[in-house]
Amino acid sequence: MRLFAELEPAAYEEVQQLVQEGKYDSVEQFLRVAAQNQLAIERSQGDTKQSNQSTKTEKSGARHWKYNPPNKVPTGAPFDDQRDEILLFSQYYRFFPLKCALYKLAGLSADAGGAVSLNEARKYIGEEIWPIREAIVDWEERNDIKKQNRKSTGFPKDKDQSMKRYLDHYVGKVQTQKGQPAGFGHDLGYVAFQEDGADWKIQLTSTGSKFVQMDNPLLRNGPDAPTLSEEEQAFIVATIRNDLDEEYQFMKHVYKILEEGEESYTNHLDKFRDFLEDSSAVGDDPSDNSVRSNAGGAISRMVELGILERGRRRGWYNTKRHPEKYNSVNII
């Protein structure tokens, strides 16, 4: 829909200056971002009192960060309890975009009082996730955040193909030929799918609900904060340790290899291959691309979990905290 707005000359000149500086592609993009941010502020009004950080970001023109999950979230059973022999898909490389999708799904299902249509959930989350993504990208551009440190990684880059990929990965989909659900939340056991005639419905599991109820520092305080709290990190590690044994063993394998020497992880492909060749999730004689992508995906997730940290050169990673050092957490 095309709308016309009248701006004061001075305001228009300031917007044009921002476009010329490369912070926005056009005046129209600036206005879209401004409208989305204001809508997000209006939606969040009345939840709780602002934190000090929220007040500071609002005064500086940033979005209003004070998300709160619903008090009561309806839950269901996972579609498949047997996940101990799978490896997480290499393109599931960030947990924060998943947290946001689960957060929005929790609110939608709470309003509905139970599971909702998968198509409805994908449409709703696609609309609701965009203002969060735009606000984070705006913060990154204003603060000249380097690519490897961007917190918008994993979010859709546009509302077409990239959005479909985001929804497939972080909300989930049903594989038509297999008649089975797929997605990051499904693999972790955080999302419950159920077949409903010709349709599929979706909601959180009890484990997913518990994860959503954990306070998230970025959703509470804005992009200056970490993407995950220590409690969330420990909870995810506990999920993987308890339910995804193959993934947990691979994480320990990667940790051990990187602990032994300072080199780019791509210098250790043969050592990663040793594990993957014996994994039923990958199979015999994986290609170099398969080994690299599986290792790279695991490493990216391990960085966000605080297990690894980026080294001084591209592709180098330092060990920080062994997966076994995380406190045991009750995920039920």
208 and 234 housed in the same domain: no
Predicted pLDDT at 185 = 97
Residue 255 inside a domain? The answer is yes
Predicted pLDDT at 59 = 38
96 and 38 housed in the same domain: no
Mean pLDDT over residues 56-63, rounded? 42
User: What is the token pair recorded at 152?
Assistant: 């918008």
pLDDT at 11 over 90: no
Beta bridge partners of 253: none
Structural domain total, the chain:
3
Question: Which of the four pLDDT bands, split at 50, 70 and 90, describes residue 64?
Answer: low
Q: Which residue has the higher pLDDT, 277 or 58?
A: 277
Instruction: Label the pairing between strands 116-117 and 199-204.
Output: antiparallel
For residue 84, give its domain range: 73-214
Residue 203 inside a domain? The answer is yes
Question: Which of the four pLDDT bands, split at 50, 70 and 90, describes residue 16?
Answer: confident
Predicted pLDDT at 331 = 60
Most confident of 9-18, 169-178, 203-212: 203-212
92 and 202 housed in the same domain: yes
257 and 152 housed in the same domain: no
83 and 150 housed in the same domain: yes
Digit-coded pLDDT (tens) for 220-261: 999 999 999 999 999 999 999 999 999 999 999 999 999 987
Mean pLDDT over residues 189-214, rounded? 94
25 and 126 housed in the same domain: no
191 and 112 housed in the same domain: yes
φ/ψ region of 149 (left if φ > 0, alpha if ψ in -120 to 50, else beta) reads: alpha
86-114 b/e with 16+ CB inside 10 Å = b?
bbbbbebbbbbbbbbbbbbbbbbbbeeee
Residue 101 inside a domain? The answer is yes
Count the Cβ atoms, other than its own, within 10 Å of residue 45: 8
Q: What is the pTM of this model?
A: 0.79
